[in-house]
Amino acid sequence: MMTTNPQHAQSLNGDGRHAPSISAVILAAGMGKRMNSDLPKVLHPVGDPPRPMVQAVIDACRDAGCKRIVLVVGHRQELVRQAVVGQRDVEFAEQPEQHGTGHAVRCAEHLFTRQIGMGRAKGGDVFVLAGDGPLIRAETLRTLLQTHRRSAAAATLATSVIDDPAGYGRIVRDDAGRFTAIVEHKDCTPDQRAIREVNPSYYCFDVAALFTTLARVPRNPQSGEYYITDVPGMLLAEGDRVEVIPSVPPEDVLSVNTPEQLAEVDRIYRARRAGKVGA
């Protein structure tokens, strides 16, 4: 995972003299068709008192040091905007049509023009996260960012090893255990589907590296969509450094695609907030 690109050698210093900015892009445009509700999926409530799932992600980003948070909105976006009204560090980017996670992140590119223009190693870093993952921990994000900056990486992923990886992108490694790619579940070979290390969609990118690479991501031949999961492999192939840390607790990876899954996530979330399980 060593880079041959010298632009990253000076990207993030460990001497304490300068801490580049950290922002977040949270994907919040999904419809959540299997939720049996017209409510945007990220607005389904968790906790007591109940609050939208996306608010838990926003709070984790703040606790990890984000000063700027961009929500990518689409389906019934007026409800998402209203749910976070008055939060001055939250901005919005619109995804009018859904063409995949890569397309969703590109919809926020115009908000990062200045950082992109500063180039790699100067424009700061950005988390890219899913808005329907309320079990996310600020501690995990801080670990992700520290590794990213300490290694001067173009991209850093936090992964998890889970018992049932069905539906998740797999983390593919070479014979030496080095990361090579993320492969979406539907694109996996039978051998790849047996991999239990998965991608829970916790990313940290150099801002310029992210958006310049997203511009070249091809359409997936099966779905016709653009995937953010292609970016780390593309960066690695071009000589940039990509780091992978297996630091996401398995319970935090629980998906929320159905009312039953929401109930289970809500149970864990409430127990954690009550101090019954690790926070």
Looking at the annotation, which residues are catalytic? 34
Residue 214 parent element (H or E): helix 207-214
Question: Taking each helix axis from N to C terminus, what angle separates 207-214 and 230-237, rounded to the nearest 10 degrees?
Answer: 100
Residue spans of beta strands (DSSP E) within the chain: 22-28, 45-46, 51-52, 68-73, 90-94, 125-130, 155-161, 169-173, 179-183, 197-206, 242-245
Residue 40 and residue 38: Cα distance in Å, rounded? Answer: 6
Upper half-sphere CA count for residue 159 (Cβ side, 13 Å): 26
Q: Tokens 């984000």 sit at which residue?
A: 66
Contacts of 264 (CB under 8 A, 6+ apart): 254
